């Protein structure tokens, strides 16, 4: 049977009430030019403002809107997952509602998809819209990720992308609870091309990501797609052990040959404190991985839906 919906646009929303109408107007203008049936899948990720009310108002007028309303805030990774789970289009576009991802770029993405590409990534041309600290942090993360991840993570590529149905199905088959979507998208592979876009100005609201959340996000990515930190601390521990043996042997030989006294408590206390700190860091790294295993084996759902508005009048 022919799929009645060609394109699905997945839009995670968190406190986007003020800007949702402007986003919808631009999205409708772009999608209308494609000449194919489409749907918009909005995921209300536990918003504390009137986002759901604004979405329901739009849905009362437009029949091609689905709304997935979460029971609480589960985070953007879960919201994207839910949107893809409920999308039925032959191709799915993931885009933010704050207009920093320009909807007009979708036309080029669709053109490349129709030409045979299975994944079309949106890559920002520059990071001038971000603070210097966030830009520095992001560059360091991508630099590390390129070296240690199982699969390369494209730099300056976020969640804005178009995916063929087969790609969406492959991503949907991975039901891990601790989700790092950029890594999952890269891990599945498929024929991929990149398009660049200018980051739009956020006219309404503020980003919910702060430096602490970005740091935790980076830790999630690293622990999800590489075991290098565990291996690294094995090497560090081995090096410290070897150094300690050599240092101890040097002290013993010095005492036997020259009668020098064994170094006193200051040097001993410094060495003990250093080794203790290294041990605690190593335990912390190990604990992070064990914690991820603990959360996964409980097999809790990725998200919980309070209401799902999929059909007109539902």
Which of these, 65, 92, 61, 113, lies nearest to 310 by C-alpha position?
65
- CA 243, CA 238: separation in Å to the nearest integer? 9
What DSSP string runs through 42-97?
Answer: EEE-S-SSSHHHHHHHHHTT-TTEEEEEESS---HHHHHHHHHHH--SSEEEE--T
Same domain for 109 and 136? yes
Helix (H) or strand (E) holding 192: strand 192-197
Same domain for 112 and 64? yes
Same domain for 175 and 266? no
Tokens for 266, please give them: 């200051």
Domain count, the chain: 2
- CA 292, CA 307: separation in Å to the nearest integer? 29
In a domain, 274, yes or no: yes
In a domain, 26, yes or no: yes
CATH number for the domain that contains residue 80 = 3.90.550.10
Same domain for 262 and 124? no
- Structural domain including 47 reads 7-210+301-309
Same domain for 61 and 88? yes
Which of these, 89, 69, 64, 88, lies nearest to 79 by C-alpha position?
69
Tokens for 4, please give them: 């009645």
Same domain for 289 and 305? no
- CA 300, CA 111: separation in Å to the nearest integer? 39
- Under a CB-based contact definition with an 8 Å cutoff, are residues 38 and 5 in contact? yes
Same domain for 15 and 30? yes
79 Cβ neighbours under 8 A, 6+ residues apart: 12, 13, 14, 43, 45, 70, 303
Same domain for 171 and 186? yes
In a domain, 94, yes or no: yes
Q: Exposure pattern of 278-304 as b/e (b: 16+ CB <10 Å)?
A: eeeebeebeeeeeebeeeeeeeeebbe
Q: What is the pLDDT along the chain (314 residues), one digit of tens a residue?
A: 456 778 999 999 998 888 898 889 899 988 888 888 999 999 999 888 888 989 998 888 888 899 999 999 888 888 999 999 999 889 999 998 888 888 999 999 999 998 889 999 888 887 666 666 666 666 666 667 666 676 777 777 888 899 999 999 998 888 888 787 887 888 888 888 888 888 776 666 565 555 666 666 666 666 666 767 777 777 777 777 777 667 667 766 766 676 655 555 556 666 676 777 777 777 777 777 777 777 778 888 888 999 888 755 44
The vertex-254 CA angle with 250 and 258, nearest 5°, equals 170
Same domain for 54 and 80? yes
In a domain, 1, yes or no: no
Which of these, 149, 154, 126, lies nearest to 221 by C-alpha position?
149
In a domain, 215, yes or no: no
In a domain, 221, yes or no: no
In a domain, 223, yes or no: no
Same domain for 239 and 199? no
Terminal CA-CA length for the chain? 25
- Under a CB-based contact definition with an 8 Å cutoff, are residues 49 and 55 in contact? no
Same domain for 44 and 126? yes
Same domain for 305 and 284? no
In a domain, 222, yes or no: no
């Amino acid at each position: 049977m022919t799929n009645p919906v060609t394109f699905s646009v997945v839009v995670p929303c968190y406190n986007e009430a003020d800007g949702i109408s402007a986003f919808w107007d631009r999205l409708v203008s772009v999608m209308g030019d494609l000449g194919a049936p489409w749907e918009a899948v909005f995921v209300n990720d536990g918003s504390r403002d009137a986002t759901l009310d604004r979405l329901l108002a739009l849905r009362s007028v437009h029949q091609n809107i689905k709304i997935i309303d979460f029971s609480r805030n589960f985070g953007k990774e879960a919201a994207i997952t839910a949107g893809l789970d409920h999308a039925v289009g032959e191709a799915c576009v993931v885009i933010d509602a704050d207009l920093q991802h320009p909807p007009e770029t979708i036309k080029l993405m669709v053109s490349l998809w129709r030409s045979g590409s299975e994944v079309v990534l949106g890559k920002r041309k520059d990071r001038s819209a971000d603070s210097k600290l966030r830009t520095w942090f992001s560059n360091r993360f991508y630099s590390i990720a390129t070296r240690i991840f199982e699969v390369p993570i494209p730099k300056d590529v976020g969640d804005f992308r178009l995916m063929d149905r087969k790609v969406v199905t492959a991503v949907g088959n991975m039901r891990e609870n601790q989700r790092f979507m950029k890594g999952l998208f890269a891990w599945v592979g498929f024929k991929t091309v990149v398009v660049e876009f200018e980051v739009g100005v956020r006219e309404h609201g503020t980003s919910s990501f702060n430096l602490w959340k970005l740091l935790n996000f980076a830790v999630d990515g690293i622990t999800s797609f590489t075991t290098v930190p565990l291996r690294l601390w094995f090497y560090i521990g081995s090096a410290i052990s070897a150094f300690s043996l050599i240092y101890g042997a040097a002290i013993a030989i010095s005492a036997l040959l020259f009668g020098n006294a064994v170094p006193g408590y200051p040097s001993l206390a410094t060495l003990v404190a250093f080794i203790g700190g290294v041990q605690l860091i190593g335990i912390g790294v190990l604990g992070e991985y064990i914690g991820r295993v603990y959360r996964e084996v409980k097999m809790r759902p990725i998200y919980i839906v309070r209401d799902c508005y999929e059909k007109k009048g539902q």
